[in-house]
Amino acid sequence: MSRPSAFRSAHPLVNFISFGLILTLSVCIAHPVCRTLSAVCGAAYYFFLSKKALRYTLRVVLPLSVLTAVLNPMFNHRGATILAYFPSGNPLTAESLIYGAFAGVLLAASLFWFASLTEIMTTDKFVYLFGRVLPSLGLLLSMALRFVPLFHRKFRDAMDVQRASGGGSEKTAARVRRAASAFSMVVTWALENAAQTADSMKGRGYGMRGRTSFSIYRFTPTDAALLCASVLPGAAALLGAVFGQLDFNYYPRFAPAAAPLSSGLFCAAFFVLCLIPLLFDLTEVLLWKRSERRI
């Protein structure tokens, strides 16, 4: 279940550019401070947006992040600080442990921001943004976002039907066969549904030249201010990344590649970018509560 969000009601272009900058810079910037800030801000915003954030964190984010951190030193043996040796004779280095830890942090940041993206960017927003310029891409993105939760729901329904029809054995082999049968049914349904959706959109003239479309979105002065608030720190962080001010050396030793002062300034710009969605929502919440007190 999602909580009310003022950032969700902003113009789709603002949402798309803000999340695009955050995700792109989070992946491209190797600085450990930026990765940590991205993960913390992404987690804070997703916990603000969704009531299922804790379950998502414990079931998905933490296991995958820890797995990434543990696997890296097993396969990556670079680094100058040797801590121990594996039975195979390969060294376990402190640098590989640090790199694996921050790789897990990056994965957590990406998962949190993508989860927030699915909460904010609905299918109609993607169709609005790409429906006229790239209609096929807009339809594909909207179907992909809708497909994941719908596929999960249909798979759960198919499993319930399998149990109710007499397949309630608790043996491992029986459970595997039941899950495989349910998965096969859901995949068949998904393929048929995709074909029907494409035929339906084609029959309605979607993507044809000169076709008009209704839209409820209007670019307001608030959207313009919010877009500037996202683009300016995003551009500053991007310049820092391009000119190497946010580079960081993990091998052979864990050390910054640029001056700490300049790196800190660009990290601060990236931090502001990551905070914009949460700050905008919190500001709206505070204004709403203040107006209620006056009433």
Question: Is 126 a residue whose pLDDT tops 70?
Answer: yes
pLDDT tens-digit profile of 20-31?
A: 999 999 999 999
The predicted model scores a pTM of: 0.80
pLDDT digits (tens, 9 = 90+) for 249-264: 999 888 888 788 889 9
Residues 208-246 have pLDDT tens digits of 666 666 567 889 999 999 999 999 999 999 999 999 899
pLDDT, position 209? 66
* Banded pLDDT at 206 (limits 50, 70, 90): low
- Exposed, middle or buried, 95 (CB in 10 Å: 0-12/13-18/19+)? buried
Two tokens, residue 4: 């009310």
Task: Report d(CA 287, CA 294) in Å as an integer.
Answer: 11
Q: Where are the domains of the chain?
A: 1-125+215-295
> Of 113 and 214, which is predicted with more confidence?
113
pLDDT of 19: 95
HSE, CB side, 13 Å, CA atoms: give it for residue 11.
Answer: 15
Q: Is the pLDDT of residue 288 over 90?
A: no
Give the rounded percent of residues in the chain with a pLDDT score beyond 70. Answer: 86
